[in-house]
Amino acid sequence: MERKLAHGRASTAGCGPRRTHSERVEMGRSAGRPRGSRTSRTRPACLQPESHSASKADRRPRSAPPPGASSPARSIGMIDEELMERTQGPGGAAGDDASPVSACEVRRLGVASSFAEGAQKLSEALREVSFNRPTEASGIIRLEVAIPREGDTIGWLRKQATAVAAAFPIVYFSPKSSTFGEGLRSCADGGQLEDFSNASGGSSDCEVGCVGSTCLWRGPAEGPFTEESHARVSRFLRPGEESVRAYGGIRFDPKRRPAEEWRDFGAYTFLIPSVELRTSPSHSVLSLNVAWDNLRARVEGETIDSIDDALAKGHSMLASVSGGKVGSRAPVDVGPSETCEDPARPRWDPLVGSVLGEMGKMTKLVLARRSRVLCESPVDPLHLLACLQDQDRKGYQFCLLLGRDKAFFGSTPERLYARSGSRVVSEAVAATRRASADSSVTEDLLTSEKEHNEFIVVRDAVKQALESLCPEVEIEVEKQVLKHVSVQHLYGRLSGRITSGKNDFHLLDALHPTPAVAGYPCDESVRSLASMETFDRGFYSGPFGWISGQSSEFAVAIRSALTRSSEEGNELMMYAGVGIVEGSKPALEWKELDLKVQ
């Protein structure tokens, strides 16, 4: 796959230059805003601490509006734990794709005793924003409040999907569990896994549910995610700020024209959510994002509102969302179904044989299979996702729901990378055996020459990709066994620090696709797959995750599925792949595909 780099240089993902505390105070005074107040109470764990805080001299309480005042209530000024940060820069010029937006602001409104009270606090804060309407041409304002833990984020999203008119798109993302890191720590030297589990700024403790979008970017057909694409997204993400995130994914092969079932997803889809719920083991954080650009020329696939429309959308969303959940997490029964596989079993053996005949050009090629199921009953992707999560809480779970009948979702064991500041961690995952309590199965996986060779190809390719961006790369875990609900794999972990001037675009460009999902050499493998695979992978085996100004995390979207309604009925398309190397047996590889879609 050719690497796509725009000629222009990507933005460093900011909203103007970082300012000192005194500069921000003076900016606040000149804008006519009173100084904020806050207490020293501990911040919620899944919120990143601000790098600057107000001095005691600047912590003066604001005065409340007089009784009967006609202006909206300015309760945000009286909330105990408010934090308001604002930066302004020269960016935001109309039509300048790489220019940071003119204003970024994060307001943390303390703690509420319930979801309803939290939503009310957000509404009051948004009324103040509307009353003191921002004058900048472009910007983003984020309002946050901590609330008691919403125990079932997927159930909460299911409720919003049926109750909120503007709920779509919906995103769900849950990183690898902390127990996964603890389980591997006993296999590693020096406790290295502690850094690994926290590599993305603590996100391993927070699952995320997103409702609606305040910004949305969708790549045109055959339009890869370029440096310019990244700049359009990152202009809303201030360097060093963890709170504001863009969520989304990229096609496995963006240069390939999407098939009809994937057309609405574009070559890539990223969004900054309108309403966001982050849940840690101890509590949740409910947030509203309001982004706007009044002057920007319209770009195909990009949806960014004016300030008036953005504020109106924010008020509407807060009036519609509610706490609680709907539906059960019991196993799904979609009624009688019909399954069609591509490639079909009779075609599989000759296809693998032709790949083995090309082993002089390639050392590995990953062939995928699509299992298309026609269901009698409508398919609820969030219900299916909840069932997958209950089966395997060690891996990532993710979902991009474009409408009630169109979603991409999955449960994957594989991380593409996680970044915190300049530090990046990636993985090599390859070779498969069925999960078993029998230690001989694991021992066979560890000692098999065929599986070892397949694993080394992946690990060396990941190392080479990181070395193109990092002065030094450390192999923290040479080779271990990664166990999941139905399968186990060989696993390695690598880390480094990316050089100054490199960003998430460069990481995505260097690391995707890995030999674990394409083959080796990667470019030759992708070209071969375009002619051998008769279906469109779409977002299957592509990167799926999030980007902020401080951190990022992307899973490899394998073990995934697409749901949609068509003229033929309710469709569920499941995807899985196997690595074909010297010595592969077609019948055994077919059984491995069956294992991966169980």
**Residues designated as active site:** 364, 414
Between CA 23 and CA 36 the distance in angstroms is 15
CA 266/CA 217 separation, integer angstroms: 9
Q: What is the DSSP letter of 50?
A: P
User: How far are the Cα atoms of 90, 307, 420 from residue 304, in angstroms, in the given order?
Assistant: 20, 9, 28
Q: What is the bridge-based pairing of β-strands 415-420 and 423-434?
A: antiparallel
Question: What does the block give as tokens for 465?
Answer: 């990709």
Q: What are phi and psi of 156, to 5 degrees?
A: -65, -45
Q: Which two tokens stand for residue 48?
A: 């990143």
Residues 146, 110: contact at Cβ < 8 Å? yes
Whole-number Å distance between alpha carbons of 466 and 336? 47
Which DSSP string do the residues of 474-504 spell out, in sequence order? EEEEEEEEEE-SSEEEEEEEEEEEPPTT--H
Q: In angstroms, what CA-CA distances link 569 with 230, 410, 562, 572?
A: 37, 21, 14, 10
The answer to whether residues 274 and 249 touch, using CB atoms and an 8 Å cutoff, is no
Distance CA 188, CA 458 (A): 20
Six-digit token string for 546: 């999030």
Q: Are 503 and 487 in contact (CB under 8 A)?
A: no
Nearest to 550 by CA among 269, 209, 200, 213: 200
Type of residue at 44: P
- Token look-up 């490639």 returns 343
| Bridge partner residues of 105 (DSSP) | 86, 141
Q: Is 129 helix (H, G, I), strand (E, B) or coil?
A: helix
**323 Cβ contact partners less than 8 Å away, ≥ 6 residues apart:** 114, 115, 116, 119, 150, 156
Structural element, H or E, at residue 454: helix 449-467
Q: Is residue 376 helix, strand or coil?
A: coil
Distance from C-alpha of 143 to C-alpha of 123, rounded to nearest angstrom: 9
* Residue 220 CB partners (closer than 8 Å, separation 6+): 266, 267, 300, 301
Query: Who's near 276: CB < 8 A, 6+ residues apart?
Result: 208, 209, 210, 211, 245, 286, 287, 288, 289
CB under 8 Å to 54, separation ≥6 — which residues? 21, 25, 35, 36, 38
**Distance between CA atoms of 172 and 321, rounded to whole angstroms?**
16
User: 167-204 burial, b if ≥16 CB within 10 A, otherwise e?
Assistant: bbbbbbbbbbbeebbeebeeebeeebbeebbbbbbbbb
